[in-house]
Amino acid sequence: MTFFEFQKRFPNEGAALNFIVATKYANGYYCPKCGCFHKGIYRSNKRTKVLHCNNCKSEFSVLAGTIFEGTHLDLRMWLYAMNLVIVAKKGISACQLQRELGMKSYKGAWRMLQLIRQAMAKEEYNEVFEAVVEIDETYVGGKPRKSNVHTERETNEKHNKRGRGTSKTPVIGVKERNTGKVHAVVANYNDEGKQLTGKQLFNVLKKVCKDGVTVMTDQYSGYNILDKENEKNFIRVKVDHSVTYSLGDGKHTNGIESFWAIVKRGVYGIYHHVSVEHMQKYMDEFCFRLNHRECDDAFESLVNLAIAA
Ligand SMILES: [Zn+2]
């Protein structure tokens, strides 16, 4: 939503609090102490951030179990920050957020963004991708060397013996053709110290895809696991990038590659540096934004994730 829409919807702190309370407790609540159920919302007029239990007379914060719990900042700031994260195509840096909100501390802005990403990460796709999906991997982090992701991979493989000494982190991405929904996972090392193994790639597909989907891949050997009979009956279609870039036969991985382009513009252009430690959170942010880009309910979806215990 635009600044004016936001201003109209949340003209003051009370409006922001009421919105959060109404959303979180729409279906009543259980007392955390005695466990009894309350159908309505019991708040005093003065201490509006406190909920009551009529049974055991205890009180607790309306923000308990939300990403806002214990915050000293206005809830309006939080909601505005969440809106900014959604509307900023490539993401928003902590520096920029600090300026937008007029915050004193950079650390506070950074922490706020981390918590918003944490909420975004709660959105999961479990075995819902169907028909045709595309899978591809890319390397993120450090300085971009070449624009072509495949050349990059080869460079990493040759010079860094993959994973050893490379400053970049491999990320696996899956995109469903029909809906354009994406799922991206940082490829961690397995017990043998390997990344991007066939099993790892298969497991990423297994989590998000229904049985029997057609999987578009490039020629990377890790995908050869899909050529064999597999428990999910996935069918692999191999894309030869040296021959068929635009034959119009639907054999391509352009969809997931365009997602990598957005990710890289964001990581290098906005965030400048993303450490391995935090990489997954950033990927969750890029996925959430893309998966909600055409929805009117992106803001509501994010609020719901933020308040879910
Ligand atoms: Zn109680």
CATH number at residue 245: 3.30.420.10
CA 123 to CA 239: how far, in whole Å?
Answer: 30
Distance 41 CA to ligand 1 centre (A): 13
Is 262 within a domain?
yes
Distance 225 CA to ligand 1 centre (A): 55
Q: Token pair 């501390």 is at which residue?
A: 105
Distance 36 CA to ligand 1 centre (A): 6
CA 274 to CA 264: how far, in whole Å?
Answer: 11
Distance 296 CA to ligand 1 centre (A): 37
Is 209 within a domain?
yes
Is 240 within a domain?
yes
Distance 63 CA to ligand 1 centre (A): 17
Beta strands in the chain (DSSP E): 29-30, 37-38, 50-52, 59-61, 132-140, 169-176, 182-186, 214-217, 235-238
Nearest to 170 by CA among 134, 222, 130, 216: 222
CA 227 to CA 207: how far, in whole Å?
Answer: 19
Q: Which pLDDT belongs to residue 163? A: 45
Distance 14 CA to ligand 1 centre (A): 25
* Parts of the chain with a pLDDT under 70: 142-166, 243-247, 309
Instruction: Tell me the per-residue pLDDT of 155-170, one tens digit each, with 9 for 90 and over.
Output: 555 444 444 446 789 9
Distance 60 CA to ligand 1 centre (A): 10
The residue segments making up the domain with residue 259 are 132-273
Distance 308 CA to ligand 1 centre (A): 20
Instruction: Tell me the per-residue pLDDT of 99-127, one tens digit each, with 9 for 90 and over.
Output: 999 999 999 999 999 999 999 999 999 99
Instruction: DSSP letter for 223, please.
Output: G
Distance 214 CA to ligand 1 centre (A): 52
Is 208 within a domain?
yes
CA 5 to CA 41: how far, in whole Å?
Answer: 27
Is 238 within a domain?
yes
Q: Which pLDDT belongs to residue 164? A: 41
Is 265 within a domain?
yes
Distance 37 CA to ligand 1 centre (A): 8
pTM of the predicted structure, to 2 decimals: 0.88
Distance 38 CA to ligand 1 centre (A): 9
Is 194 within a domain?
yes
Distance 50 CA to ligand 1 centre (A): 13
The total domain count for the chain is: 1
Distance 31 CA to ligand 1 centre (A): 5
Is 107 within a domain?
no
Q: Which pLDDT belongs to residue 42? A: 85
